[in-house]
Structure 1
Amino acid sequence: MHERGQANDSGARVRDVIVVGGGPVGILLAGLLAVRGVDVEVVEQRAKPSLRSRAIGIHPPSLRALEQLGVAEEVLARAVRIRGGVVRSDGRTLGRLAFTETVDRMQSVISLPQFETEAVLRARFAELAPGRLRGGVTVTGVSERGGRVAVETAKTVETAKPGGTHGTVEGIGTGGTGEGGVSAGETLEARYVVAADGARSLVRDLLGIRCTARTGGETYLMSDYPDTGEHLGEAVLFFERGGVVESFPLPGGRRRWVAMTPTLQADATSDDLAALIRARTGTQLPPTTAEASAFSVQQRLATRLVAGRVVLIGDAAHQISPIGGQGMNLGWLDALQLAPALERALRDPEAASGVLGDYDRRRRRSARMAARQADFNMAMGGPVQGLRLRARNGLVRALAAPPASAVLARAFTMRWL
């Protein structure tokens, strides 16, 4: 299909594609490329996968990507299906949305903690391309060299500190090796490089690509609790005076609870969150061993997603509010388009500029649409009083009724992105 097994001047192999970042977006893309016969390798800063729950929602368009990789059924078997959503305020139901009426499982909205999804993707990639995921490796430089991209690397050293771990970069030339045998200071080469290294993308910074900031700054607190069984199979949004509270089912009889907070509450506990939820909604949550996590919403879009032979994907390309479950799914939809685009660029170099330019335009457009939807989600969930509260509740009732409900359900399940 295209040239394979090339070597650089030192005799080292030149890959078709190197993916920088082994999170769910980078690994999915790498798997989709491997299925197409592309010679792909992944370098990941973390020596071990994160066990944080993080993203949980998986929408129908993403299931198409998982199906192409051959892991959709396994993910579905591990996940729980979200049948629809209910909106409540002051103890009353304002409306309901049914996400799907079909028996086609690939049209489901499902919930699965990110670390479990990532484990499935990593296992599949290991089957398709054994030994091609190299952990504990930090990229320190990226440059084009005559139709190839050189990727400078260093070993990542994990050092413990209070509250968790963080990675530091061991100096180039120290002779250390990361998982998979990458020496500190080794230069890897590929015909294309994909930056899937997250919102603080080092590759994007090395390329000098700027990000335009959108609205943001809202703060939230989340944790997971045992499911009380009150809202079986439904996502619940509590539009209350003090701010939104959201609840989503998880596998294993648990639920994710998220509440908007007036400020970033980095030191808050799960007990603090449970008390806030009880005060706003009247819901009494069971004790949990899970830790609370506070976060502040930032929304940014890279000014371009393609720079020569380097392409941005996922959070490196666009940072979208996690409210609404769009972040990981939007990155997967990037991968669904980028995999065939890269395959064609490798096979037909004359078409490369056109297909990658199309990727840039289409995915930036989708990211802008997703950001507008996230803006709407956050605005609807803000604290309100009096007439504004009644007006918002009236709008929710109207949106939850046909025909608007069908359009809204389509938007929340990302079927137009």
Structure 2
Amino acid sequence: MRDVIVVGGGPVGILLAGLLAVRGLDVEVLEKRAEPSLRSRAIGIHPPSLRALQQLGVADAVIDRAVRIRGGLVRSGGRTLGRLVFADTADRHDRVISLPQYETEAVLRARFEELAPGRFRGGVTVAGVRDRGDRVEVYTDAPAAPGGSGETAGAGSGSGAGGAGEPTEAAGAGGPREPGETLEARYVVAADGARSLLRDLVGIRCTARTGGETYLMSDFPDAGEHPGEAILFFEQGGVVESFPLPGGRRRWVAMTPTLLTDATSADLAAMVASRTRVHLPATSAAASSFSVQQRLARRMVAGRVVLVGDAAHQISPIGGQGMNLGWLDALQLAPALERALRDPVSGPGVLADYDRRRRRSARMAARQAGFNMAMGSPAQGLRLRARNGFVRALAVPPASAVLARAFTMRWL
């Protein structure tokens, strides 16, 4: 009987597990992937998240691997509309930094292994869950063969019956399975991503907010023209964004009219050149297309099953909020679960407070993400001039201070 089983070993699940282990709780992580993903997805890490990493004792290790982002530059039609400067403080934990997600995950996994040796289990697919009232049973499939490539721990789309406090059981979709294990914990946390199977199994539905926008991204060598700055090009054909990465690289992202699943990095470079007149050097990195969906779970707690990260809220990655929002979930959920375990009578109220606070933060983040996407949509004529004038107004005090606070997630 574990105190907590975390389903999903991505950056949010493993940070939460580490924060629980630091508190002396007995925690185990189940991750569908047999090997870590080397895809470079989320890169931005904001000051509130560095506080969470600091609690785990890995903030300095992450900062040492990352590159600092000192501010942002907004351009349109070859002209600079404004510049956003993040406060330059002596506290190295009060900064915006950039590091590829797989490198951050490696630091988190190494720290969790120090805290709880052998408790990170890869290649384990969760197929069902049953809330027994005083504990939760988790059913797994037989271990995956080495080299499995699932991206999340349970990416099913079926729905299950049951509500908060009601026993719930279900199995994953598909045909007959090899027998797996039955595990038990006082609480189970669903950190299994936007297509969370556990969320479906406990009957939590999601409300769609906005979405449908499509983007193409890839990493290129950095020409060094804007060291430490993010660059946003608000152009007629749609936004182009650029962010520094460690190792002399830059990530480039462009809004596209449709999902370009077969596009290459050369296609992205041509798109960037046509919109911004910036000519990117050749790269060996592959391009990646994605479509933005924004959803919010109608609740984040169902009995002894709790949602965290993308399982609870899916927002646009534009603006670098997704992973950070999940980390802030973990920062609040870890002490809530500790209190619920130490004082079972207070458990329902403590978790209800977590639900209320984090859903409110997710709604705020979704509104900000919606604003970011709207600002970056294609525009021309009067609409383009009005948008550029608005951007100029936002780039001067006092609006610039408010904008910097929003983009560094200090109010979430």
TM-score > 0.5 by shorter chain: yes
2:162 counterpart of 1:201: no
Deviation at 1:160, TM superposition (A): 8.8
SS of 1:405's equivalent? helix
Instruction: Summarize the Cα distance change of 1:280–1:41 in structure 2 as closer, same or farther, 3 Å threshold.
Output: same
Tell me if the contact between 1:158 and 1:165 (Cα under 8 Å) persists in the aligned partners: no
Matching of residue 313 in structure 1 with residue 300 in structure 2: no
Distance in structure 2 (CA, Å) of the matches to 1:44 and 1:15: 16
Q: CA-to-partner distance for each residue in 1:358-413, whole Å, 9 max, x for gaps?
A: 00000000000000000000000000000000000000000000000000000000
Q: Which residue is 1:9 aligned to?
A: none
CA contact (8 A) 1:159 1:165 kept: no
Structure 1 counterpart of 2:258, one-letter code: T
| Residue of structure 1 in register with 2:266 after alignment | 271
After TM superposition, give the deviation of residue 158 of structure 1 in Å.
5.9
Aligned to 1:408: 403
Equivalence for 1:85? 72
Cα distance in 2 for residues equivalent to 1:353 and 1:152 = 24
Aligned letter for 1:233?
Answer: G
* Correspondent of 1:46 among 25, 33, 38: 33
Structure 1 residue matching 2:397: 3-state secondary structure: coil
1:298 corresponds to 2:285: no
Equivalent-residue separation in structure 2 for 1:103 and 1:276 (angstroms)? 39
Correspondence 1:242-391 to 2 at 5 A: 242-391=237-386
Give 3-state SS (helix, strand or coil) of 1:18's partner: strand
Shift of 1:171: 7.6
Query: 5+ residue gaps in structure 1?
Result: 1-13, 175-183
Q: Deviations over 1:81-128 (max 9, x none)?
A: 000000000111100111122121111000000000000000000000
Q: How does 1:16-35 map to 2 (within 5 A)?
A: 16-35=3-22
Change (3 A) 1:203 1:116: same
Corresponding residue number in structure 1 for 2:47? 60
Contact 2:7 2:30 in 1 (8 A): yes
Distance 1:166 1:298 in 2: 17
Q: After superposition, give the CA deviation of every residue in 1:290-324 in whole Å (9 maximum; x if it has no partner).
A: 00000000000001000000000000000010000
Contact 1:47 1:156 in 2 (8 A): no
Partner in structure 1 of residue 161 of structure 2: none
Give CA deviations for 1:158-188 in whole Å, capped at 9, x if unaligned: 6999xx87799998773xxxxxxxxx51000
Please state how far the C-alpha of 1:342 moved relative to its aligned partner: 0.2
Distance 1:132 1:171 in 2: 29
**What is the distance in 2 between the residues matched to 1:146 and 1:293?**
43
Q: Structure 2 unaligned runs (5+)?
A: 155-171
Q: Does structure 1 retain, via aligned residues, the 8 Å contact 2:8–2:191? A: yes
Please state how far the C-alpha of 1:144 moved relative to its aligned partner.
1.3
Aligned counterparts of 2:277 and 2:108: Cα–Cα separation in 1: 39
Give SS of 1:216's match. strand
Match of 1:4 in 2: none
Query: 1:146 offset after TM fit, Å?
Result: 3.9
Aligned length: 393
Tell me: CA distance 1:156–1:278, structure 2 relative to 1, closer, same or farther (3 Å): farther
- The TM-score, its normalising length taken from structure 2, stands at 0.93
- 2:119 maps to which residue? 132
- 8 Å Cα contact 1:221-1:258 kept in structure 2: yes
Query: Structure 2: which amino acid aligns with 1:125?
Result: F
Q: Which amino acid aligns with 1:41?
A: E
Q: Which residue of 2 aligns with 1:151?
A: 138
Alignment partners' CA distance in 1, 2:90 and 2:384 = 37
> Percent identity of the aligned residues?
79
CA contact (8 A) 1:160 1:166 kept: no
CA–CA distance in structure 2, aligned partners of residues 391 and 333 of structure 1: 35
Deviation sequence 1:32-87 (CA, Å, 0-9, x none): 00000010000000001100010000000000000000000000000000000000
Question: Structure 2: how far apart are the matches of 1:50 and 1:115?
Answer: 7
Q: Distance in 2 between matches of 1:389 and 1:356?
A: 46
Contact map agreement 2:123 2:146 (CA 8 A) in 1: no
Partner of 1:111: 98
Contact 2:35 2:147 survives alignment (8 Å): no
Judge conservation of contact 1:154–1:172 (CA < 8 Å) in 2. no
